[in-house]
Amino acid sequence: VQLQASGGGLVQPGGSLRLSCAASGSSIRINNMNWHRQAPGKQRELVAGITSGGSENYVDSVKGRFTTSRDDAKNTVYLQMNSLKPEDTAVYYCEADWWQYGDSVVAGRSWGQGTQVTVSS
């Protein structure tokens, strides 16, 4: 199962971006999906997550500004980022737990390749 993250770019402070993370593979179901970010010289941090039931959680620094959602029909999760700040600048990664149904059920975890978000005037 591969994850493809997209939607990053350069935006001015106060602007918005919408990241997408699409899972590809046959007969898969996404369980929990998380968004992480890593800024230069800093450790990777968990930013937001959404469970299979749709429960969301966020790190305090993005609460009220970021919203994660999912479209299970498309095996895609989104991160809507509003009121962006320079400190949001980082490479954003998606990570998902999944099941793949075949002759047996296989569970696994995958990471996307990362998408750069730069907030600067």
Looking at every residue in the chain, the average pLDDT score rounds to: 95
Amino acid 82: pLDDT:
98
Q: Enumerate residues 6+ apart whose C-beta is below 8 A from 56.
A: 48, 49, 50, 67, 68
Amino acid 57: pLDDT:
97
For residue 88, name the pLDDT band (cuts at 50, 70, 90).
very high
For residue 86, name the pLDDT band (cuts at 50, 70, 90).
very high
Condensed to tens digits (0 to 9), the pLDDT of residues 39-49 reads 999 999 999 99
pLDDT at 26 over 90: no
Give the sign of the dihedral formed by CA 116, CA 113, CA 93, CA 4.
positive
pLDDT at 102 over 90: no
Amino acid 1: pLDDT:
87
